[in-house]
Amino acid sequence: MYQNDSAYWLFAHTNYLARGNRAKYGLPIQAYWRAYELKLYEDQKGIEKELLRLYSEKSPEAAAKFITAYTMDVADKAFAKAEKLHDALVKHIETRSGDLFVISDDPLAPPEKIAAKAMTEEEKIVAEKLLGPGFNALDPKTANANVAVSSIPVAKAPKTENYDFITPSTTVDVTVQESNGALKVVYNADLSSADLKALTANSKTQGAAALDNARENLSIIWAPTPEAAPKTLIGPGPDALVSFSKATDSGFLTLYPTSDDGANITLNYFLVDGEGTGRIAENLLFVKDGKTDGKLSGSIWLAVAGSARRSLGNGHSPQ
């Protein structure tokens, strides 16, 4: 039976459409996926090094959590790319049938930085224990249909002396129409080599050393509203909800190298409509958005703790 959220049917239907004109539809699609595959092949060198490091320096369990999270992240991104490609091909056939299918977006570009996902039954049980009676696991299809994702430039970051913000935020605003609701959210951010170098006084630092600097100095900041004080979800220092190493060991945060000397960060968390702060429950991260108002909203920022930046002494000032 056909399902529009099935990877099998998505790729099968794209393949069926491409066969209608192999030269003008099929070949561009092959080139699209070939470019993405080559990117993954290059990234795998760094992934294998990180996997071996975790296995030897931490534990087989830490290595297993890392590679599982990475594999799921790659699968999610591939599905998101496939959806965009399929929809673009359908529109092309409807409006420009017979013309060469030109894939306008970069096949190596990441999908949207925030996406809603379905909760597993195990996750629902944990959420019910934490959030109490009347808990609603929000449907990601409904949420994605009503979500507004936007960005705030670094220049408009929350005013605080504790952090230097190194990338624009990603904001999410979802109308939920239900009380006591929670949504499983996946946040993706790509760090360039320049972003990683901003974490160290040595501008030539890259590879494993750059990732070590990220683990030691990078913070993930949550701002429920532009007016509210930002909260440190993950990072160094006593004000952080959880350390970078604990977050990666728990499996809801991954940091892995990319072939351009940058890195990818993926954070899985549960956004909750309500007052209060974030907390960890059975290795799951729950973040309350500050208000019980039938909406899920807030911003995520990547930053460097001000004390760490000052101790590095590189004088970097993000633009």
DSSP code at position 242: B
* pLDDT tens, residue order, the chain (319 aa): 666 668 888 999 999 999 999 899 999 899 889 888 888 888 888 889 888 988 998 889 888 888 888 888 888 888 888 888 998 899 999 988 888 888 876 655 555 577 778 888 899 899 988 888 778 888 777 766 666 777 888 888 877 777 888 888 888 787 766 667 788 888 888 888 888 877 765 445 556 777 888 888 888 988 887 777 888 899 887 889 999 888 988 888 888 888 778 888 889 999 988 888 788 999 899 998 888 888 888 888 888 876 544 444 443 333 2
Q: Three-state SS for 256?
A: strand
**DSSP E strands: which ranges in the chain?**
114-117, 136-137, 147-152, 163-165, 169-175, 181-191, 218-223, 231-234, 253-257, 263-272, 279-281, 284-288, 295-305
Report the alpha-carbon distance of residue 315 to residue 217 in Å, rounded. 15
pLDDT at 107: 57
How many other C-beta atoms can be found within 10 angstroms of the C-beta atom of residue 294? 13
Q: CA-to-CA distance for 273 and 173, rounded, in angstroms?
A: 11
For residue 11, which of 33, 37, 28, 43 has the smallest C-alpha distance? Answer: 33
Residue 115, pLDDT score: 77
Strand partners, 295: 175
pLDDT for 29 equals 92
CA quadruple 225, 228, 234, 240: dihedral, nearest 10:
-170
pLDDT, position 112: 56
How far is the C-alpha of 63 from the C-alpha of 254, rounded, in Å? 11
* Nearest residue to 120 (alpha-carbon basis) of 297, 294, 283: 283
